[in-house]
Chains A and B, each alone.
Chain A
Amino acid sequence: MLRQVLLNGLIAGSIYALVALGFTVIYRTVKFFHFAHGVVYAAGAYLAYTFTVLLGLSPLLSFLLASASAGAIGVGIDRLVYLPLRKQKAPNLVFLLASFGVFIFLQNLIQLIYGAQVLSLRTGAVHEGRRILGAVITNTQISILLVSTFLCLALWFFVQKTRPGKAMRAVADDPIAASVVGIYSEEIILISFALGSVLAGAAGILISLETNLTPAMGLEAILKGIIASVIGGIGSIPGAMVGGLFLGLAENLGIWGIQAGWKDAIAFGILILFLLVRRSGILGSKSTTELP
């Protein structure tokens, strides 16, 4: 039983890690909480539903198309809402509230288009899972783990090795110094929103292979994504991955034996504990989390 709990935690954790990763990529360059990230995740899932179930495209093609569209939505939010706010040099909380507004708007737009009832991406029969190390895992769950691991590694490679990735790190470290050496920060912000939102969309699609789609699915995702980022160390890419896995495991161990409904309370309990005792998170350095 413990093994099954750990496996479930790992799968939930890998999704949280993807959301947290996308959130972190964006947070690093803009330094505010992009709450509407959650609705991009939901949009990814609903677009995948549109492409596979309504238009009948192949799953792989839909996955790619839906993730790319999620990226476009993220960039659109940035251009339409955040860019004007950046020009006004608005304080962080204004960004956060505007982000809440975008979130509410798009979530209800999804509900208006697709209705409030649950939808499912699953087609065909449900197969019995395989037994590995005393835990049952289905093929879908294996692909979730593989795809999310691949995306994490791909992002890590992009940020560490490629030119735009290095520019992103430069802007994250010191935007003024970056602009001095000729890095155009608006371009980097654009890339960050595109990348982060593709990751959110992909996470939304992956989770909808496993559970049903509801218009409100983005709220839980962004809350868990933010919690994972904070407990991993805000602004740290490995931190987001570690935080996501930690949160997934902690939640599933926490609800072992009690009702699953307490999950959110456990997650926020952990967050508040971290905020009070170790705000820099598991992997964050003290300097990145200085108070304003």
Chain B
Amino acid sequence: MDYFLHLLIITAIYVILTLSLNLIVGYTGLPAFGHAAFFAVGAYTSSLLALRFGVSPWLGLLVGACLCALLGVVVGLPSLRLKGDYLALATFGSAIIVYSVALNWVTLTRGPMGLPGIPGFSIFGFQLSAKWAYLVLMMLFVLFTYSVIRRLVGSPFGRVLRGIREDEIAALAMGKDVNRYKILAFTLGAVFAGLAGSLYAHYITFIDPSTFDVMQSINILLMVVFGGMGSLGGSVVGASVLAIFPELLRFLGMPEAVAAPLRQMVYGLLLVTLMLKRPQGILGKYRWE
């Protein structure tokens, strides 16, 4: 039972990541291939604040989100001038640089040894420890993320984003400051990924760089694409299916040495098949251009 709850909690974190990336990739049409960078910054910021300075995880969550916003602007400001493959490459590169810092700045992050003993959340002095309590917390955050992004994409702001996705030059011609909108969308997505990072770190209590490697970025992107770009329901479905499905392989009783590559092979095959048969994803409305 505990394992099942754990699985749901992890799925919830992926749902937040996928929703936030969908805002960037699906709604604004920006190919961001490095979402794990913000996930990492959120996780490391609040963990380090809690471990080194005893800062409350709640405050750490906010500081992490702010740092992600800052990083979103720092990465977005120069790289969002690029388009298509080049933007994908630049964002991918920024994720590798963040991963590299987590791995190599040993005095700060302890590098590959990771950060053990991260304190959990507490509410009014009560330490959260039960799995179901965390599940409730995660569900609240999923709901929060979902409703904020839903409002965003339904607002005039969201209409501009979709306008940029459909035809950037037309949006420019309408007098919209396209670059500013792109950076805003990118930064907002980054903030939610940072929240997911903090939630993950304080739940799992141990983080190391391997959780935030380039394959993680591709995994999140796969969830967005699989569920459907520009569809929030699709993101929930995509993240849930792809987070839970690989765990089923575990029940087939395969040893981890076989199950791990097999799982990734299924991911790879799924990505290829999607691109060949249904590039807009199962619930998506928008295709890459």
Contact = CB atoms under 8 A, between A and B. Distances in A.
Interface of A: 32-33, 81, 84-85, 90-98, 100-109, 111-112, 115-116, 215, 219, 223, 226, 230, 259, 261-262, 264-265, 268-269, 271-272, 275-276, 279, 291-292
B83 A291 contact: yes
A272 B94 contact: yes
Interface in B233-284: 257-258, 260-262, 264-265, 267-276, 279
A261 B271 contact: no
Contacts of B214: 219
8 contacts: A81-B272, A101-B269, A103-B268, A104-B271, A264-B96, A265-B100, A275-B86, A275-B90
Interface of B: 31, 78-79, 81-86, 88-90, 93-94, 96-97, 100-101, 103-104, 214-215, 218, 221, 225, 257-258, 260-262, 264-265, 267-276, 279, 287-289
Contact of B31 (A93, A215, A223): A93
Contact of B104 (A97, A98, A261): A261
Task: Kindly list the 8 A-B residue pairs having the minimum CB-CB distance in the complex, ordered from nearest.
Answer: A101-B271, A105-B268, A104-B268, A101-B272, A268-B93, A265-B100, A108-B261, A98-B275
Given A32-B85, A92-B84, A223-B96, A276 B275 contact: no
Nearest to A263: B100
Given A116-B257, A264-B100, A276-B78, A108 B264 contact: yes
Summarize A's interface: helix, strand, loop or mixed: helix
Interface core residue of A97, A111, A262, A275 (most chain B CB under 10 Å): A97
A265 B97 contact: yes
A95 B274 CA distance: 11
B265 A94 contact: no
Contact of A98 (B83, B93, B257, B276): B276
A26 to B, nearest CB: 14
Given A93-B31, A108-B265, A279 B90 contact: no
Contacts of B79: 272, 275-276
A271 B97 CA distance: 11
B82 A275 contact: yes
A261 B100 contact: yes
Contact of A271 (B93, B100, B257): B93
A95 B267 CA distance: 16
Contact of B78 (A93, A100, A262, A272): A272
A84 B89 CA distance: 24
A286 to B, nearest CB: 15
Contacts of B85: 32-33, 92-93, 96
A93 B265 CA distance: 21
A105 B269 contact: yes
Nearest to B215: A104
B262 A112 contact: yes
B89 to A, nearest CB: 7
